Structure 1
Amino acid sequence: MSSKINKILSFIRIILKKPSLINIILDSPLVAEERFKKFYPNFTSLPQIDVEQLGEEIPKSINTFILDGGSLITDLQLLSTLASRQDVKSYLEIGTWRGESVYNVSKYIDDCTTINLSAAEMKAMGLSPEYAEQHGILSSKNPKILHIGANTKTFDFASLNKKYDLVFIDGEHSYEMVLNDTQKVFKHLLHDNSVVVWHDYAYSPQNMRYEVFQAILDGVGNENHAYLYHPKNTLCAVFTKKKLKSSAFDKMKFPEKIFTVNIEKENFS
C-alpha cells in the first residue's frame, strides 16, 4: 500500500511541476479506449474483409520510403487496388506527407488531388523546415497531381465543386481533426458509389486506435456504420456500399496468409 501511495505522491509532484504532462495521460490509448466504450459499448471493432473483394486487380509493385510516418506496404496496396478499378477515375486525399499514397494511386488515376498544410503554415506553427519541405517530395515527381496547400479546419471543400470516386483521409489523427475531415468529406465530396479510406484506424493490423475509430463512427453517422470495414493486414478502415463478405475481428486468430515481398531500391533525389 505504501508503495502505491508513494507513486501517487510522486505523480502529483511531477504534475504540479509540469502540468502539461497531464495531456500524456488524457491522450493515452487506454483513456481513448475507455471513452470509446462509453459511447459505443457494443462496438469492439469493424468487421474484416479481404482486400481481394475491393478490386479486380491486386497490384504487386509499390513505391515506398519505409520511413516514419508512412503507410504499410499493404495500406498502399489497398489504395492501389481501389485505384485500379474501372469505376474509379478521381482521387482526393487529406494529408500528403512525403506523397507515397497519392504517387502510387496516380499510376492508375490521372485525376489526383492532395490537400495538406502549406510549407509556410507549417513553418509558422514552429515545425522544422526539414519536416515542412519533405511534404510531397515523391508526389511532386508527377506533374499531374494537384497539390493544394490548405488547412482542412478552414478549407471550403464545397469550392472543389466535385464528387470523388475515392477519398483517403490521412491528416492529423486527433479525434477532433478526423471528425472534422470525415464530416466535411461526407457532406461535400461523395456520390452514391464513392469509397472512403481512413489511415490509422489501427496502430497495427491487430490493435485498434480508438480515438480515430470513434471519430470515424461519429463522423459518418449511425446510418453508415453498416458500410464500414477493416481490410485485413492493414491499418485502414474503408467505407463502401458494395456488398462484401466479412468476418468478425479476432485479435488472436492464427494467420491464414503469408506475404512474399521482393524488395528493390534505387537512389532518390
Structure 2
Amino acid sequence: MKNFPTINIEELFPTDIINQRLILENFLGCYGNMSIEAVCKLCLIAKYIKPKKIFEIGTFNGLTTSQIALNTDALIYTLDLPMEEVSEAKLLKADLDLSLSRQETGICFKGNPKVTQLWGNSTKFDFSPYYSEIDLVFIDGGHDFETKKSDTENALKMIDKGVIVWDNYLDDTNPETTTYLNTLDLPIYHLRNTFLAIYIKK
C-alpha cells in the first residue's frame, strides 16, 4: 500500500500561512516530544484556521499543547491515560516505557485557563459530547494499530468541517501509525520534514 504524498505546508494552505508570527516559550522538549519544526507547523495550522475548540489525544508533558495555546484563542481539551491505568492498558512497549518515564502530565501548561485536562483510555473514553464540536484534532496517543484506528474514528466524528493532524506518520519507530493511516481512503498528506500527516474535512 502506497504512502500518502509528501508536500510543503504552503501547498495545502495559502502561501501566507508561513509568514505568520508565532510565539514559542519553553519549547525545548525531551524524548517523547515532537521536533521544533513539527511543533511550529502545527501551530501555524492552528493559528491560520482560527479554531474555537481543539482536541488533543495524548497530552504527555503538555509541551505541544502549551505552544498551541500561545498561538490561538481556542479552548483546548487534552486527553491522557492516568498513571494508575498505564499498567492495565494494552500499550506497545515503547508507549509503556514513555508513559512510565514521563514528567507530570501537562506540566508545561499547568494553570492555563484555555486548557482542560481530561483523563481516560482513548479507546474507552466517551467522546460523544465533542461530536461535531471540534475544529482541530491532534492525535498523538497510543501508536498501535487498534488505538490509532479508534482515535481516528472518534476524531472524524468530532469534526464536521475542520482538520485532523496525526504525529508519527512515516516514523520507523512507530510503524503501526503509518500502516493504519495508509488503509484510509481520505485525502491525507504528509508534511515535509516532519512526522505529521494532515486531513482537511471540508
Residue 71 of structure 1: how far off its partner (Å): 0.3
- Find 2:69's aligned residue among 106, 116, 119: 106
Give the alignment's TM-score, normalised by structure 1.
0.63
Equivalent position SS for 1:120: helix
Backbone CA RMSD of aligned residues: 2.7
Are the structure 2 counterparts of residues 241 and 152 from structure 1 closer, same or farther at C-alpha, using a change threshold of 3 Å? closer
Total equivalences in the alignment: 190
Greater C-alpha radius of gyration: 1
2:29–2:63 contact (8 Å) kept in structure 1: no
Q: Note the 1:80-159 alignment, pairs <5 A.
A: 80-107=43-70, 108-122=72-86, 131=101, 133-159=103-129
- 2:181 matches 1:216: yes
2:8–2:192 contact (8 Å) kept in structure 1: yes
Equivalent position SS for 1:91: strand
1:49–1:231 contact (8 Å) kept in structure 2: yes
Residue 78 of structure 1: how far off its partner (Å): 1.4
Are the structure 2 counterparts of residues 129 and 214 from structure 1 closer, same or farther at C-alpha, using a change threshold of 3 Å? closer
Distance 2:81 2:155 in 1: 17
Give the alignment's TM-score, normalised by structure 2.
0.81
Larger CA deviation: 143-152 vs 59-68: 59-68
Are the structure 2 counterparts of residues 195 and 86 from structure 1 closer, same or farther at C-alpha, using a change threshold of 3 Å? closer
1:90–1:112 contact (8 Å) kept in structure 2: yes
Cα deviation, 1:167-191, whole Å, max 9, x if unaligned, reads 00000111121111112221x2011
Cα deviation, 1:29-87, whole Å, max 9, x if unaligned, reads xxxxxxxxxxx2xx1x2212212343634444434233100001111111111111254
Instruction: Find the counterpart in structure 2 of residue 231 from structure 1.
Output: 191
Equivalent position amino acid for 1:170 in 2: D
Distance 1:237 1:197 in 2: 6
Residue 209 of structure 1: how far off its partner (Å): 5.1
Instruction: Find the counterpart in structure 2 of residue 49 from structure 1.
Output: 7
- 2:158 matches 1:194: no
Distance 1:128 1:68 in 2: 8
Residue 88 of structure 1: how far off its partner (Å): 2.2
Residue 90 of structure 1: how far off its partner (Å): 1.6
2:22–2:43 contact (8 Å) kept in structure 1: no
Structure 2: gaps spanning 5 or more residues: 90-95
Instruction: Find the counterpart in structure 1 of residue 92 from structure 2.
Output: none
Residue 145 of structure 1: how far off its partner (Å): 0.2
Distance 2:7 2:101 in 1: 35
Equivalent position SS for 1:112: strand
Equivalent position amino acid for 1:46 in 2: F
Cα deviation, 1:88-139, whole Å, max 9, x if unaligned, reads 2221010000101111111213311101112332377797997365211102
Distance 2:46 2:180 in 1: 25
Are the structure 2 counterparts of residues 136 and 217 from structure 1 closer, same or farther at C-alpha, using a change threshold of 3 Å? same
% identical equivalent positions: 25
Residue 233 of structure 1: how far off its partner (Å): 1.1
- 2:191 matches 1:240: no
Residue 155 of structure 1: how far off its partner (Å): 0.7
